[in-house]
Amino acid sequence: MAAAMAAFALLHALPAHSYLPMGDGSGGVFVSAHWQSTPIPIEISTNVSAVGTKLQGSTSFQTVIQNSLNSWNQAPNFQTPLGTVTTSTAQAPDGTNLICFCTSGVVFNQNDGTLALTVTQFSGSQITGANIFFNPNPTGVCFITDSNASCANGTDFAQDLQTVATHELGHFIGLDHSAVVRATMYPFAPAKETQLSWDDVAGASLLYPKAALDVGTGGISGTISKTGAVFGAHVFANPTGSNNPFGAFPSIRKTPIGTLSDLSGNYTIIGLPPDDYVVYAEPLDGPVLDGNVAWAQDFGQGSVMTDFTTRFH
Ligand SMILES: [Zn+2]
């Protein structure tokens, strides 16, 4: 069985539109990747010596990661695959699903603003392991663990660590980047945003749906075509009503929910809670670009199609 790896960088961007699972579309039909066995054991390294003064704040690394895990574990409509957390002092991958400021296992480019990387191992469409590596020396940035903290170097940008951890855990469970700008899985980190969005919840519950949904949802599907099928259009449903269907989950933010069209131009957006929606189709031509998502690669294509203009109905 083929083994593959995927890595997604969360980029630091100033300032800084869809849920998208990782998976395989090589047969023309997209198959989402899932963890082979759940619950997933997780190891947090409490050894943060590699990050030095680039980590500031009174809250511990372990607590920040646990807070991020809690955000996913408590998400509506989502049967969390995340399991028991243990701790270690590992500074290199050790065969566990390690979350760390590691000194080896991944090499960060010192000239970019990469904050963290999640490296995932696959066997076919099964996820067999993953590590989350935080960059111990991000250029022009430091990590803070509480809002009162500031960087040791006054010119560094203070990046909330939990914001980054929550994003990386989305990759860890099997989500690709989202082109929905306010989604947790958007590839560029805001200074602080620790709450999941409707888009993230839709993606998580697509992969690991709760048997009895907390909030009933529906779907919208269609086809994007120009002279022929449009592959890789970003199609998103923007909620325009005043409903608050996730009101019992006050930590969930209302955002559009989106996806990308497949090789036939077909799209299906599921996980839509009750509201009114306007559906848009737009090219993936910025701020999120083809290179930020694995969609074209998943389908064995060179790139998604962007030679069209935004439409909505
Ligand atoms: Zn990412």
Domain containing 268 — which CATH number?
A: 2.60.40
Pair 166, 219 in one domain? no
Pair 78, 197 in one domain? yes
Tell how far the Cα of 138 is from the centroid of ligand 1, in angstroms.
15
Of 9, 61, 50, give the one whose Cα is nearest residue 137: 50
Tell how far the Cα of 23 is from the centroid of ligand 1, in angstroms.
15
Pair 60, 196 in one domain? yes
Domain count, the chain: 2
Q: Report the CATH number that the domain containing residue 182 is assigned in CATH.
A: 3.40.390.10
Q: Can you give the residue range of the structural domain that contains 194? A: 3-205
Tell how far the Cα of 117 is from the centroid of ligand 1, in angstroms.
7
Tell how far the Cα of 180 is from the centroid of ligand 1, in angstroms.
13
Pair 138, 30 in one domain? yes
| Weakest mean pLDDT among 26-30, 39-43, 173-177 | 26-30
Tokens 């539109």, residue located: 17
Tell how far the Cα of 228 is from the centroid of ligand 1, in angstroms.
31
Provide the 10 A C-beta neighbour count for residue 157: 16
Tell how far the Cα of 227 is from the centroid of ligand 1, in angstroms.
33
Tell how far the Cα of 119 is from the centroid of ligand 1, in angstroms.
10
List b or e across 209-226, with b for residues whose CB sees 16 or more CB atoms inside 10 angstroms: eeeeebbebeebeeebee
Pair 218, 197 in one domain? no
Q: Is residue 1 over pLDDT 70?
A: no
Last residue of a domain, one of 142, 176, 205: 205
Q: What is the pLDDT of residues 62-107, one digit of tens each?
A: 999 999 999 999 999 999 999 999 999 999 999 999 999 999 988 8
Tell how far the Cα of 116 is from the centroid of ligand 1, in angstroms.
8
Pair 68, 153 in one domain? yes
Q: What is the pLDDT of residues 235-277, one digit of tens each?
A: 999 999 998 999 999 999 999 999 999 999 999 999 999 999 9
Tell how far the Cα of 233 is from the centroid of ligand 1, in angstroms.
20
Tell how far the Cα of 242 is from the centroid of ligand 1, in angstroms.
30
Tell how far the Cα of 171 is from the centroid of ligand 1, in angstroms.
7
What does the pLDDT read at residue 16? 25
SS3 for the chain is CCEEEEEEEEEECCCCCCCCECEECCCCCCEECEECCCCEEEEEECCCCCCHHHEECCCCHHHHHHHHHHHHHCCCCECCCEEEEEEECCCCCCCCCEEECCCCCCCCCCCCCEEEEEEEEEECCEEEEEEEEECCCCCCEEEECCCCCCCCCCCCEEEEHHHHHHHHHHHHHCECCCCCCCCCCCCEECCCCCCCEHHHHHHHHHHCECCCCCCCCEEEEEECECCCECCCCEEEEEECCCCCCCCCCCCCECCCEEEECCCCCEEEEEEECCCCEEEEEECCECCCEHHHCCHHHHCCCCCCCCCCCCEEC
What does the pLDDT read at residue 7? 54
Q: Is residue 48 over pLDDT 70?
A: yes
Pair 131, 246 in one domain? no
| Weakest mean pLDDT among 40-44, 60-64, 225-229, 290-294 | 290-294
Tell how far the Cα of 293 is from the centroid of ligand 1, in angstroms.
9
Q: What is the pLDDT of residues 279-295, one digit of tens each?
A: 999 999 988 899 888 88
Pair 145, 282 in one domain? no
Pair 168, 273 in one domain? no
Pair 29, 48 in one domain? yes
Pair 226, 151 in one domain? no
Tell how far the Cα of 125 is from the centroid of ligand 1, in angstroms.
19
Tell how far the Cα of 154 is from the centroid of ligand 1, in angstroms.
26
Last residue of a domain, one of 205, 235, 268: 205
Tell how far the Cα of 9 is from the centroid of ligand 1, in angstroms.
5
Tell how far the Cα of 177 is from the centroid of ligand 1, in angstroms.
6
What does the pLDDT read at residue 8? 56
Pair 182, 240 in one domain? no
Last residue of a domain, one of 181, 205, 229: 205
